[in-house]
Amino acid sequence: MDNRKFGTFVATLRKEKGLTQQQLAEELCVTDKAISKWERGLGYPDIKLVEPLAEILGVSVIEIMRSERTDEEQVNAQSASEAITNMIDVVDYQRKIERRNVLIAVTTFALTVMSLFLIDTMDLVGFVLACLPIAMFAVGIVLILVSVKRKKLNLSYATPLTLGIFAIAFPIIIVLLMVVAFILGGPLPG
Amino acid sequence: MDFMFLLLAYVPVASLIIGVICLTAFFLLRYRKRKIVNWLFVLGCIGIGLTLLVYCFFFLVGFLGIGPMAS
């Protein structure tokens, strides 16, 4: 299913009906941000909302799923099959979102438990200092990605790139210094 | 030797001071809608980053118990 086509179709129908995103959102009991997201092609409505959405916009479910107007008499096997395929795409998309949400929840829970354990072991300041190299590495990756994106958009990218390189250098320098410290002194006897 | 040690010991402190001054200057210029000097921001981040690097290193070395340090 073409999400941009779907978004444009919904936006056109909404405007034809003289509805604002806020009004449509209220009718469907969703947020206006959700409507904006669909119209920009960044997501689909929940499968349960397709029928009420079609009803409010004054079109059939098949038209919504095909993202184009069709005469009721002209609904043939091909257009019906296309609509069903699109419906399956929407369900697949929703499953992906659900799986992603579960993954985020599990990761957050695991990180929280690990953080609490580490804070308990090495007090808060120690925990922050121990996690700093990892955080700096992540920040560095993000900054480099930002600079790549800015370069593609023909914007200035020198600052995020420089900061990104320094941020990635942070954990590398820490590890190198620790290796030097280990070679110079070795582990202290307990 | 003592002078060298003193110099090295004050590197993170000096770096933090330089970093804070640069960042303050950068945000002050930005707030007053004058010219945005990007290198001040970069220098500020590097200054603060160097201090964090030194503290982080000494903490990890102490925590893991490695290096030529007295226990």
A154-188 pLDDT, tens digit per residue, is 888 888 899 999 999 999 998 898 888 888 776 55
Set of chain A residues whose Cβ sits within 8 Å of the Cβ of B12: none
Band (A139; pLDDT cuts 50, 70, 90) = very high
How far apart CA A137 and CA A173 sit, in angstroms, is 11
Domain containing B23 equals 2-64
Residue showing tokens 């992540």: A138
A181 near B CB under 8 A? yes
Q: Which of A126, A159, A166 sits opposite B59 (nearest CB)?
A: A126
Q: Which of A122, A129, A170 sits opposite B49 (nearest CB)?
A: A170
* Residue B30 domain flag: yes
* Residue A112 domain flag: no
Band (A7; pLDDT cuts 50, 70, 90) = confident
Poorest-pLDDT segment among A10-19, A86-95, A148-157, B10-19: A86-95
CATH code of the domain containing A84:
1.10.260.40
Percent of chain A at pLDDT exceeding 90: 19
- Which of A171, A115, A107, A111 minimizes the C-alpha distance to A141? A171
Percent of chain B at pLDDT exceeding 90: 30
Band (A49; pLDDT cuts 50, 70, 90) = confident
Q: What is the mean pLDDT of residues B3-16?
A: 83
Q: Do B68 and A184 count as a contact with CB atoms less than 8 A apart? A: yes
Neighbours of B10 (CB within 10 A): 11
B30 vs B44, higher pLDDT: B44
Local structure of B66: helix, strand or coil: strand
Residue A187 DSSP code: B
* Residue B11 domain flag: yes
**A23 with A78, same domain?**
yes
A165 near B CB under 8 A? no
Domain containing A174 equals 123-190
How far apart CA A27 and CA A10 sit, in angstroms, is 14
* Residue A10 domain flag: yes
Q: Do A170 and B41 count as a contact with CB atoms less than 8 A apart? A: no
Instruction: For residue A177, give how far its alpha carbon lies from the nearest alpha carbon of chain B (Å).
Output: 7
- Between A and B, how many residue pairs show a Cβ–Cβ distance under 8 A? 63
Look up the ipTM and state it. Answer: 0.75
